[in-house]
Every structure is written in structure tokens, then in C-alpha cells.
């Protein structure tokens, strides 16, 4: 069995996939790597690029399993499919339009987890490159930190391409009917241990400046409410109220259009959860005022 499986999903990444694959093959480590590539029925030349690369590149400690789907599964189902093919003790993630820049990424991260049993995963900083403008910046300020599940509920502290976790904590009932599969994965893994964040930059995240808010609807965004009940199966003690509040906020902020039902539900959940979290009468009243003002900002998105 390989020490680590690298999970790489791809769809229409003909311009990027070779760089992603090269970054895996450049890894220097003293253990075996299983590379899982799952191509979700790309309509461009992604399959040809992958096939040509694998034909011309081999490495003694890397075994590649390539799945070229003839039917499009969708991004979340393809992600879950690829994760279920992984057999390593650990799983690392690198999507087909991202790539690693630290040749010791796997070695350093696995060395840490091998020595620190109370941790279920490790991640790092990354470089964000905006596709349309080519502007660059760090994903976050460089810090070393340890996260528990409640500290991951309201923000993204690291990018998926830097994440490496213990495979034993991935569950076969992982949902395919959520929008934010990566967030679900981070939270699931954090149910079983702490997550270490390091300040080194190990990956590049290509960001499309079109943004999710230009195309996603509230009908899609509301799927993430399902994350709350799913996590309760594995950890009943996390702050469910805080997660519901965050999801409600994302429905309002990132949906391009919001139907009346979703707007009402998200507005109520956001206001109620903020009210519940506030301590003391005055703070509770201030939370309601703040919530109403915040919600008002998104009324223009209502789609009757």
C-alpha cells in the first residue's frame, strides 16, 4: 500500500493539467505515491494531454490510476468518486488546474502527521493567481496555527491543494448532494483530530475572477445546509448554530439570484443564529439591528 494517495480531479483543464501532473512527479520523498486522476468527461483535449504525459513520464515510486469517465458526474460526485479510489494511508488533494510548488510538500506533511497522532490533517499557505489579471497574492497571512472544528466553521483558512489528511477519517457516506464538498471534507476530518496550518507556500491556486457569485443560484447554495446534519453523525458537539449562520450568509452573499423561500429561510437563520450567539440583552439587540441591515443589502437579488 502506498503511503499517500494524491487525489486529482479534472474537467476541461487542457491548459493546466500537465503542470499539475508535473508537480506531483517532482515530489521528492522516501515513500510510495498513488496518483488517482479522475477526468469528468472533459470536452476539450484534457484526456489527450493526460494520456500523452503518462506515456512519456514514469517514476518508480509513483503508481498512476487514471479514470476517464464517459459520462459527466458533476464536480462533487467526481470528487467523491476519486476519493473513494484512494488506498494510501494519507490522502492529498491537487485539482487539475492547481499545482504544487514545494517539491518536499508530501514529505514534510507526512513527517508531521506520523509524529503527531492527535492531528487528523495538515495544510499550508498557498499563492493565489487571478487568471484574468495575473495578479498574485498569498491565500492568507503567513502564520502557524492549530485548528479545531469550531474554528473552521466560518472561514476558509487554507486552500484545498495544500490539504493532506488521514484516509481512515474519510467516510464512505460522504455526501454528493452538497455544493461545498471541500468545506465538508475539512469539517469531517476535523471531527477526528486537530488540523495543523503551516506558513510555508506549497501550492498555487488559480482563481477565476468571474467568481461563483456570477453563476450560482440560491437553489444550489442551500444544499450546504445538509452539511450540518451530516457532521452531527460524527461530532455532536460542534457549534451547529455558527455553521448554520455561516451557510445562511453564503446563500445571501454568493447567490446570483435568490428565490423568496431561500431568502426568507437564510434571513431568518442568519438573524436568529446571530441573536443566539450574542451575549447579553444589549448585544442581542445590536445583533438584530446589524442582521437586518446586512440582509437589506441583498434584497436586490430577490427573484420573484
The predicted model gives 80-96 an average pLDDT of 98
Condensed to tens digits (0 to 9), the pLDDT of residues 202-240 reads: 999 998 755 444 589 999 999 999 999 999 999 999 999
DSSP 96: T
pLDDT of residue 212: 47
- 129, with CB counted inside 10 A (0-12, 13-18, 19+), is middle
DSSP 217: B
pLDDT class for 304, splitting at 50, 70, 90?
confident
Condensed to tens digits (0 to 9), the pLDDT of residues 116-158 reads: 999 999 999 999 999 878 799 999 999 999 999 999 999 899 9
The predicted model gives 285-302 an average pLDDT of 95
Picking from 243, 290, 250, 284, the residue whose alpha carbon sits closest to that of residue 266 is 250
β-strands 164-166, 90-93 pairing: antiparallel
With contact defined as beta carbons under 8 Å apart, do 33 and 24 qualify? yes
pLDDT of residue 227: 98
Mean pLDDT of the chain: 95
With contact defined as beta carbons under 8 Å apart, do 113 and 119 qualify? yes
pLDDT of residue 208: 76
* Distance (Å, whole) CA 148 – CA 193: 7
Q: Would the pLDDT of 269 be above 90?
A: yes
pLDDT of residue 133: 80
pLDDT of residue 211: 47
* Distance (Å, whole) CA 104 – CA 31: 12
* Distance (Å, whole) CA 257 – CA 245: 19
pLDDT of residue 215: 80
Continuous segment of H or E residues that includes residue 255: none
Angle subtended at Cα 20 by Cα 40 and Cα 133, rounded to the nearest 5 degrees: 95
Burial of 138-150, coded b for 16+ CB within 10 Å and e otherwise, reads ebbeeeeeebebe
With contact defined as beta carbons under 8 Å apart, do 257 and 214 qualify? no
The predicted model gives 277-299 an average pLDDT of 94
CATH of the domain spanning 4-209: 3.90.550.10
* Distance (Å, whole) CA 269 – CA 196: 31
pLDDT of residue 64: 98
Condensed to tens digits (0 to 9), the pLDDT of residues 40-70 reads: 999 999 999 999 999 999 999 999 999 999 9
The predicted model gives 248-259 an average pLDDT of 95
Q: Would the pLDDT of 253 be above 90?
A: yes
Q: Would the pLDDT of 109 be above 70?
A: yes
Amino acid at each position: 500500500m502506498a503511503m499517500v494517495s494524491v487525489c486529482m480531479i479534472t474537467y476541461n483543464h487542457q491548459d493546466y493539467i500537465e503542470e499539475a501532473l508535473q508537480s506531483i512527479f517532482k515530489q521528492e520523498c522516501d515513500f510510495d505515491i498513488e496518483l488517482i486522476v479522475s477526468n469528468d468527461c472533459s470536452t476539450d483535449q484534457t484526456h489527450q494531454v493526460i494520456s500523452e504525459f503518462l506515456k512519456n513520464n514514469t517514476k518508480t515510486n509513483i503508481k498512476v490510476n487514471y479514470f476517464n469517465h464517459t459520462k459527466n458526474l458533476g464536480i462533487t460526485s467526481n470528487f467523491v468518486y476519486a476519493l473513494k479510489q484512494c488506498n494510501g494511508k494519507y490522502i492529498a488533494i491537487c485539482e487539475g488546474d492547481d499545482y504544487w510548488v514545494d517539491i518536499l510538500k508530501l514529505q514534510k506533511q507526512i513527517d508531521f502527521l506520523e509524529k503527531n497522532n492527535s492531528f487528523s490533517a495538515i495544510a499550508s499557505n498557498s499563492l493565489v493567481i487571478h487568471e484574468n489579471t495575473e495578479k498574485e497574492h498569498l491565500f492568507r497571512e503567513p502564520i502557524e496555527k492549530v485548528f479545531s472544528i469550531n474554528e473552521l466553521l466560518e472561514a476558509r483558512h487554507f486552500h484545498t491543494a495544500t490539504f493532506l489528511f488521514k484516509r481512515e477519517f474519510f467516510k464512505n457516506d460522504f455526501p454528493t448532494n452538497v455544493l461545498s464538498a471541500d468545506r465538508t471534507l475539512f469539517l469531517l476530518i476535523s471531527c477526528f483530530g486537530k488540523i495543523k496550518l503551516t506558513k510555508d507556500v506549497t501550492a498555487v491556486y488559480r482563481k477565476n475572477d468571474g467568481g461563483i457569485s456570477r453563476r450560482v443560484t440560491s437553489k444550489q447554495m442551500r444544499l450546504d445546509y445538509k452539511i450540518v446534519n451530516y457532521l452531527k453523525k460524527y461530532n455532536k458537539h460542534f457549534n451547529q448554530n455558527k455553521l448554520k449562520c455561516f451557510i445562511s450568509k453564503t446563500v445571501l452573499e454568493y447567490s446570483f439570484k435568490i428565490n423568496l423561500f431561500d431568502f426568507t429561510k437564510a434571513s431568518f437563520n442568519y438573524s436568529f443564529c446571530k441573536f443566539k450567539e450574542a451575549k447579553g440583552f444589549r448585544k442581542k439587540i445590536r445583533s438584530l439591528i446589524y442582521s437586518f441591515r446586512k440582509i437589506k443589502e441583498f434584497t436586490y437579488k430577490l427573484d420573484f
